[in-house]
Amino acid sequence: MIADGWRYVRAHRLTVTWMWVAALLFSQYLTADRVLAIPGIDAGVHIPFRFVLVGIMAMVALGACDARVAEPQWNDTGAVSRWNTNYIVFLTIAGSSLIFVVEIVAGQSDPQVFPRLYLTLCGVGIIAGALVRFAVAWVPVLVALLALTFFTSFNGGGQWWNLGGPPVNNALSWAFAFAVWGLGLALWLLVRRPWVSTADALRGGRQGSIGGA
């Protein structure tokens, strides 16, 4: 199966991969000097906006992963395959995670705040993708992001991701983030069963639509 998957990627994904990498790098360049100020956490934390941007990209991809609509994909026949979307999801998460790790190693972000933010919002993205159509899957993700941004910008403290401030409720904060992520992951696996269409695509079988099992 690994060999089949590698041949599939080599045959169909080179152009898409380079386009995605170029878009990710360009977005990092455009947002390099912009930050999202979060008051009330350790005398103020400034998260680079590029973190938020790659998080949005990952959430939108996760939301699209199993939304109930057939999307045109990049392949020779023009057929529809959920594997194509799964590949974009993997590429987005891998790129975002790599950038995040590099920034953490370079000491550019709080090692506690951003992982919780990322886990929670990605969980929202998965839930949105499992419940609604692709055309509107990004709406709850965007609403959640804007609401959380507004809360942290104007509330002046007690943000949801530190729930009173570390280290008092740090464990509770992590539990909240993983609960949202776990709910989304469980819903995705139980409702969409992505391994079915992915295995079919790797075997060269039927090209099932995103809405199919």
pLDDT of 136 over the 70 cut: no
Calpha distance 213→209 (Å, rounded): 8
Q: What pLDDT, in 10s, does the model give residues 29-73? A: 555 555 555 544 444 555 566 556 655 555 555 555 544 443 444
Tally of CB atoms within 10 A around 70: 17
Report helix, strand or coil for 104: helix
pTM over 0.75: no
Residue appearing with tokens 């790098």? 25
pLDDT of 76 over the 50 cut: no
pLDDT for position 80: 39
Please indicate whether residue 209 or residue 21 has the higher confidence score (pLDDT): 21
pLDDT for position 44: 52
Calpha distance 65→62 (Å, rounded): 5
Contact between residue 163 and residue 169 where contact means Cβ atoms under 8 Å apart = yes
- pLDDT, averaged across the chain: 56
Q: What pLDDT, in 10s, does the model give residues 151-200? A: 544 444 444 444 444 444 566 667 777 777 777 777 766 766 656 555 55
Please indicate whether residue 7 or residue 178 has the higher confidence score (pLDDT): 178
Calpha distance 14→92 (Å, rounded): 15
Cis peptide before 166 (omega within 30 of 0): no
pLDDT for position 176: 73
pLDDT for position 166: 47
pLDDT of 111 over the 50 cut: yes
